[in-house]
Chain A
């Protein structure tokens, strides 16, 4: 069975600070995918990134970066120079091949960026 743990329930920082959201996953599959989704106040989940288990390269997209470490089963997400618009709930998720995208989500981390 797959499991995703986001230990940080809520994080609050001041604008322009860097912030890292933690994600730890469990799976016995050797091939799997990891995701991050953002849920803004409007409610819909917005896709941010997917990584596959064979690609441990870190990813950077603007102010966002992701650190994937198989040795610690972690897929952490860092926002650099945070902005108020980054305030949202962020979900880490896991899926395995063989059934479209059956995502197993973590409980989410509510991030508040204060001006």
Chain B
């Protein structure tokens, strides 16, 4: 089975540009999470969805960040305009309710490394 697929794996952009990160969760999973990993702050939850609906976006740093999940197989995280402090690795993770209740396991993608110059 394919795992969580993220694209692009690496993105280098200039300050002020729009960045869109993409995620395809594992088929059948009804939860999707976006995490950010930086040296200073470690791994932080930005937002999560259940059945394509945003449930908690309290971790989204500011209005420049937005996330959507138009259907069960696709989600985007957009940063507009991007700033150097947004440089980080962004992870997408998915799971299903039965898995969460039984073991708590989340399935992570390999991440998108963003560098904003």
User: Please, which residues of chain A bring their CB within 8 A of the CB of B93?
Assistant: 45
User: Please, which residues of chain B bring their CB within 8 A of the CB of A107?
Assistant: 42
Chain B CB within 8 A of A46 CB: yes
What size tier do the contact residues of chain A reach? 20 to 34
Q: Check B50 against A91 for contact (C-beta < 8 Å).
A: no
Q: Tell me, rounded to whole Å, the shortest Cβ–Cβ distance linking B13 to chain A.
A: 20
Chain B CB within 8 A of A13 CB: no
Chain B CB within 8 A of A71 CB: no
User: Please, which residues of chain A bring their CB within 8 A of the CB of B106?
Assistant: 45, 47, 101, 103
Which of B3, B42, B93, B95 has the most chain A CB within a 10 Å cutoff?
B42
Chain A CB within 8 A of B117 CB: no
Q: Mark B31-73, 1 if CB is under 8 A from A, else 0.
A: 1010000000011110010100001100000000000000000
Number of A-B contacts (CB under 8 A): 55
Q: Check A44 against B3 for contact (C-beta < 8 Å).
A: yes
Q: Tell me, rounded to whole Å, the shortest Cβ–Cβ distance linking B2 to chain A.
A: 13
Q: Check A50 against B105 for contact (C-beta < 8 Å).
A: yes
Give the residues from 73 to 117 in chain B that come closer than 8 angstroms, CB to CB, to chain A. 89, 91, 93, 95, 100, 103-111
Q: Tell me, rounded to whole Å, the shortest Cβ–Cβ distance linking A42 to chain B.
A: 6
Chain B CB within 8 A of A35 CB: yes
Given A50-B104, A95-B104, A100 and B110 contact (CB-CB distance below 8 Å)? no
Sorted from nearest, which 9 A-B pairs have the closest CB atoms? A50-B104, A105-B43, A45-B108, A47-B105, A43-B110, A44-B108, A44-B110, A43-B111, A107-B42
Apart from A44-B108, A101-B95, A103-B45, list 16 A-B contacts with CB within 8 A.
Answer: A42-B110, A47-B103, A47-B105, A47-B107, A50-B104, A95-B104, A99-B55, A99-B56, A100-B31, A101-B33, A101-B100, A101-B106, A105-B42, A105-B44, A108-B42, A108-B43
